[in-house]
């Protein structure tokens, strides 16, 4: 028994990402909608809110009865028999419900319920997108984490957002209006593996099984690849009918099929009681051995403070933090990350500065990070005394896009995140934007660049 426990402990220490993968589920919400449906904009708003507040939820939208419907989608929708707008949450048949699709007032709570469950499979996707021919080649790896009994199928889907199609709408006050322009999101364009998916097994899998599949598809020229997502999920079939999604994966085609080993989303440093807290996030990682944390000395040289292991190859976002308990003495400390691949290649991050004074001596608006950015960036400001603050994002014509902070703030450093969306949580296009800090008697402004 002691020997077995020792082996398990060694496995956990040597392969921490494997241990965490067993508890990570990505929930799939499949909405049923149409441009003719006056209540469907309300459903779209609920999904926007869920996606903005639950990081492990992904969405697809199946249209029927308008120009965005597909033959494969119509087969799936006919089997689901939804009202509009309704949605399937991981294709679960919930207790007390007559069918899988459920009404929008229960979508969030059901997503939360699914998030609390573990997944028996993890999904990894690599591949290429050939720009001249628009040929997508996706290599899909499924790793079985716990035994799965029954029939399972692999589903690969391409969806597109930002499609303009006039939408019927029933306002809260009554009546009917038509929204034009109206930009539809997560629209299912192609079910590459068909309406039921590709058969993986009729009898199940045992823990430790690894399944590899490759799918290819050529995107039509009129699809905007910059706004297309690639979705993969494993679903169960019972007696020839749809059943639970076991695990899902979704990523934009541009970010998924490119040669970026590690995508660093943010890197921040801030003073805390214990020293200096460094935090950073990645969107995805490939062959990431880890991070050397480096601090600039008073002589201007960089020295290694510590090493934090990476997560190898992962299509999921990861969060890291480290506390330097013995920072360099001085008014300002500078840190950077040296990311190391398993093959020895290294990449340096931008420098993060932390001001070691007990309190700021003036009001300042700091440079956002990262810049350029996609999909989000962090904006920090410092106050030397209590103040009423308005921090907002503007376009180049001075029109307000979003308000990031409004109200009374205490002295110190404050950080807010902009997710590249307007006040209605609609994604704004690529371009140059302004962010402006207003306090009593002071207005500060900087530029930032959003690259979709």
| Contact yes or no for 269/305 (Cβ under 8 A) | no
DSSP state of 105: G
Most confident segment among 174-183, 289-298, 352-361? 174-183
Res 233 pLDDT > 60: yes
pLDDT in tens, 388-425: 999 999 999 999 999 999 999 888 778 788 989 998 88
CA dihedral 65→71→74→76, nearest 10 degrees, is -160
* Phi and psi at residue 138, to the nearest 5°: -115, 125
Res 332 pLDDT > 80: no
| Contact yes or no for 435/448 (Cβ under 8 A) | yes
Pick the residue with more confidence: 423 or 437?
A: 437
- Under the banding of pLDDT at 50, 70 and 90, the label for residue 9 is very low
- Under the banding of pLDDT at 50, 70 and 90, the label for residue 189 is very high
3-state secondary structure of 225: helix
Q: Is 255 left (phi over 0), alpha (psi -120 to 50) or beta?
A: alpha
Mean pLDDT, rounded, for 292-298:
88
Closest CA to 337 of 369, 384, 290, 375: 290
Res 356 pLDDT > 80: no
Would you list the DSSP string of 349-411? Answer: PPPEEEE-SSS-SS-EEPPPBSSSBSS-EEEEEEESS-EEEEEEEE-TTS-EEEEEEEEEE-S
Q: Which domains does the chain have, with CATH numbers?
A: 25-119+156-200+220-256 (3.40.30.10), 259-357 (2.60.40.10), 359-452 (2.60.40.2550)
DSSP state of 329: S
Most distant CA atoms of the chain, gap in Å: 72
pLDDT in tens, 10-40: 433 333 333 333 347 999 999 999 999 999 9
* Phi and psi at residue 396, to the nearest 5°: -70, -10
DSSP state of 428: P
| Contact yes or no for 291/262 (Cβ under 8 A) | no
Res 8 pLDDT > 60: no
Would you list the DSSP string of 7-63? Answer: HHHHHHHH-HHHHHHTT---EEEEEEE-TT-TTHHHHHHHHHHHHHH-TTEEEEEEE
pTM over 0.85: no
Burial group, residue 221, by CB count within 10 angstroms (0-12, 13-18, 19+): exposed
| Contact yes or no for 427/420 (Cβ under 8 A) | yes
- Under the banding of pLDDT at 50, 70 and 90, the label for residue 261 is low
Q: List Cβ neighbours of 236 (8 Å cut-off, separation of 6 or more).
A: 150, 151, 152, 153, 243, 244, 245, 246
pLDDT in tens, 262-283: 878 888 888 888 888 999 999 8
CA dihedral 98→102→103→105, nearest 10 degrees, is 120
Cα gap 20→36, rounded to integer Å: 44
| Contact yes or no for 326/297 (Cβ under 8 A) | no
* Phi and psi at residue 17, to the nearest 5°: -65, -30
pLDDT of residue 310: 93
pLDDT in tens, 46-96: 999 999 999 899 999 999 999 999 999 999 999 999 999 999 999 999 999
Burial group, residue 307, by CB count within 10 angstroms (0-12, 13-18, 19+): middle
- Retrieve residue 435's tokens: 């962010």
pLDDT of residue 357: 61
CA distances in angstroms from 424 to 46, 136, 185, 305, listed in the order given: 12, 33, 14, 43
Q: List Cβ neighbours of 435 (8 Å cut-off, separation of 6 or more).
A: 365, 368, 379, 391, 392, 393, 394, 404, 418, 445, 446, 448
Closest CA to 207 of 151, 123, 146: 146
Closest CA to 337 of 351, 356, 354: 351
Helix (H) or strand (E) holding 75: helix 71-80
């Amino acid at each position: 028994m002691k020997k077995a426990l020792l082996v398990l402990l060694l496995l956990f220490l040597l392969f921490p990402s494997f241990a965490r993968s067993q508890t990570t589920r990505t929930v799939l919400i499949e909405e049923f909608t149409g441009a003719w449906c006056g209540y469907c904009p309300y459903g779209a708003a609920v999904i926007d809110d869920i996606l903005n507040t639950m990081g492990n939820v992904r969405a697809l939208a199946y249209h029927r009865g308008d120009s965005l419907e597909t033959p494969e989608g119509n087969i799936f929708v006919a089997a689901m028999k939804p009202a509009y707008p309704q949605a399937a949450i991981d294709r679960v048949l919930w207790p007390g419900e007559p069918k899988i699709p459920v009404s929008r007032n229960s979508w969030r709570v059901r997503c939360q319920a699914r998030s609390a469950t573990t997944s028996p499979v993890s999904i990894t996707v690599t591949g290429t997108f050939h720009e001249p021919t628009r040929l997508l080649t996706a290599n899909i790896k499924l790793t079985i984490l716990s035994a799965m009994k029954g029939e399972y199928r692999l589903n690969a889907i391409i969806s597109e957002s930002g499609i303009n199609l006039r939408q019927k709408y029933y306002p809260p006050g009554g009546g009917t209006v038509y929204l034009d322009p109206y930009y539809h999101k997560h629209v299912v364009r192609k079910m590459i593996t068909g309406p039921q998916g590709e058969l993986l097994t009729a009898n199940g899998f045992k823990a430790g099984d690894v399944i590899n599949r490759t799918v290819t598809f050529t995107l039509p020229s009129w699809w905007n690849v910059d706004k297309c997502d690639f979705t993969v999920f494993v679903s169960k079939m019972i007696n020839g009918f749809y059943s639970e999604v076991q695990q899902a994966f979704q990523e934009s085609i541009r970010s998924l099929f490119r040669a970026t080993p590690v995508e660093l989303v943010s890197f921040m440093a801030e003073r805390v009681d214990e020293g200096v807290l460094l935090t950073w996030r990645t969107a995805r990682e490939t062959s990431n051995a880890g991070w050397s944390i480096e601090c600039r000395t008073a002589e201007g040289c960089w020295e290694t403070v510590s090493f934090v292991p990476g997560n190898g190859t992962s299509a999921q976002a990861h969060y890291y933090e480290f506390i330097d308990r013995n920072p360099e003495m001085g008014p300002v400390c500078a840190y950077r990350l040296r990311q190391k691949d398993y093959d020895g290649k290294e990449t340096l991050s931008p420098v993060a500065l932390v001001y070691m004074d007990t309190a700021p001596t003036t009001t300042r608006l700091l440079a956002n990070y990262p810049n350029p950015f996609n999909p989000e960036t962090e904006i920090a400001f410092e106050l030397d005394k209590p103040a009423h603050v308005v921090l907002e994002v503007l376009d180049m014509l001075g029109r307000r896009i979003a308000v990031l902070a409004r109200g009374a703030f205490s002295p110190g450093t404050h950080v807010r995140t902009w997710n590249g969306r307007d006040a209605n949580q609609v994604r704004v296009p690529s371009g140059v934007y302004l962010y402006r800090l207003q306090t009593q008697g002071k207005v500060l402004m900087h530029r930032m660049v959003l690259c979709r």
